[in-house]
Amino acid sequence: MGISQPTSGVLKGLLITAALFVVLAGLKSASVILVPFLLSTFIAIICNPLVCRMERYKIPKPLAVLLVVIIFVSIVLSLAGLVGNSLSQLSEEMPTYREQLNEQLVWVVEYIAQFNIILSKELVMEHVDPSAAMSLAADMLSGLGNVMANLFLIIITVVFMLFEAPSMPHKLHVALDDPQMRLKQIGKFLTSVNDYLAIKTLVSLATGVCVSLMLWTFGLDFPVLWGVLAFLLNYIPNIGSIIAAVPTMSLAVLQLGPAYAGFIGLGYLLINTVMGNIVEPRYLGRGVGLSTLVVFLSLIFWGWLLGTVGMLLSVPLTMIIKIALESTKEGKWLAVLLSGDEVQESDAKTA
């Protein structure tokens, strides 16, 4: 007796779900190896345009790769030193910030008591702790630093990837054994990822520099640390800038007072409005937009799967999946679901 078609469909769905869970469990178990590899891949994608530009100026490829790697390592080591010193000082100053917080909370509780709103000082101090946001940011940067402890392995992998980059589209074409010349789709896929990451990195770098300069002007402690955090979290559109501003404004409230914290919040808003709504769309065009819900869910998912690096790379990783889905008839409908509203309307016609 044959199995009915609805039952067959249910079994197929269960098998796919089970296989997906097995794959995710394997990826999570292999995260120690997978995370440095993914980081190396994205660094290579970002650095490859520099190598190509140097080759156009008749610089031999080995020398171009060497120069790019030296520049990258110099920047990473310099930032690591500055961020490491800032994190150490932040840890030392954390008790002082907590004392300042307690003093301010006592004043707030006493002030609102005049309006017959009675709150327990101990309860408020237990549940309201802006310094926790600073600790969370410090833990995130420390987690990234732990991954970068494998810097030598990452650099070696990046070097090999940069040498292999020109032949990668052809290799993928041959590996897929596609007689219909899907090489153009493969090239479009790699070019889209490359352009997105390169432009996003430059915009994020400009955002981090502007944030550091703004905070230095206000006299806030550790401006470089918060600038690096703004640079990293700018890879997460829509909500990344908000997450980056929370620990900074928490510190501003404690160190400079609510008024200056408000001005710093306006500064964050201005910087991210200019970078996110004027500069970035000009170079990315329509871009490869994701809906805000997908961005948030991808942040949770990749963070759970790969830790701190997964959170920072959540949008690029989801973007790669979306671009890959757009290149196939079978997956285009899912790419439309991942897209923002304005992209859905234009892509729905071709899905």
Please tell me whether the overall predicted TM-score, pTM, comes out greater than 0.85 for this model: no
How many residues are given for the chain? Answer: 351
DSSP 8-state secondary structure symbol assigned to residue 179: T
Q: Give per-residue pLDDT as tens, 277-294.
A: 788 777 765 544 677 778
Q: Number of folded domains in the chain?
A: 1
The mean pLDDT of 140-167, rounded to a whole number, is 77
| Confidence at residue 97, expressed as pLDDT on a 0 to 100 scale | 73
Alpha helices, DSSP H only, in the chain?
5-29, 31-56, 61-113, 121-127, 131-147, 151-164, 168-176, 183-218, 223-233, 240-255, 258-274, 280-284, 292-306, 308-312, 314-326, 332-338, 341-347
Identify the residue with better confidence: 143 or 278: 278
Residue 19 lies in a domain: no
Asked if the structure places residue 215 within a domain, the reply is yes
Residue 271 in domain: yes
Higher-confidence residue of 249 and 117: namely: 249
Which amino acid does the sequence have at 125?
M
Q: Flag the least confident range among 59-68, 75-84, 110-119, 224-233.
A: 110-119
Q: 24-45: per-residue pLDDT in tens?
A: 888 888 888 888 888 888 888 8
Task: Give the up-direction half-sphere exposure of residue 136: CA atoms within 13 A in the CB hemisphere.
Answer: 13
Instruction: Indicate the residue type of 301.
Output: F
What pLDDT shows up at residue 213? 94
pLDDT of residue 216: 92
Asked whether the beta carbons of 122 and 105 are under 8 A apart, the reply is: no
243's CB contacts (< 8 A; 6+ apart) are 233, 236
- Asked if pLDDT for residue 183 goes beyond 70, the answer is no
Question: Is residue 271 within 8 Å of 211, Cβ to Cβ?
Answer: yes
Residue 88 lies inside a defined structural domain of this protein: yes
Average pLDDT (73-79) is 82
Residue 214: its pLDDT value, please?
Answer: 93
pLDDT on residue 344:
45
On whether residue 45 sits in a domain, the answer given is yes
Q: Is residue 334 part of a domain?
A: no
Highest mean pLDDT among 63-67, 79-83, 190-194, 324-328: 63-67
Q: Judge whether 109 and 124 are in contact, CB under 8 Å.
A: yes
97 located within any domain: yes
What's the domain range around 261?
Answer: 32-285
What pLDDT, on a 0 to 100 scale, did the predictor assign at position 289?
63
- Asked if residue 38 is part of any domain, the answer here is yes
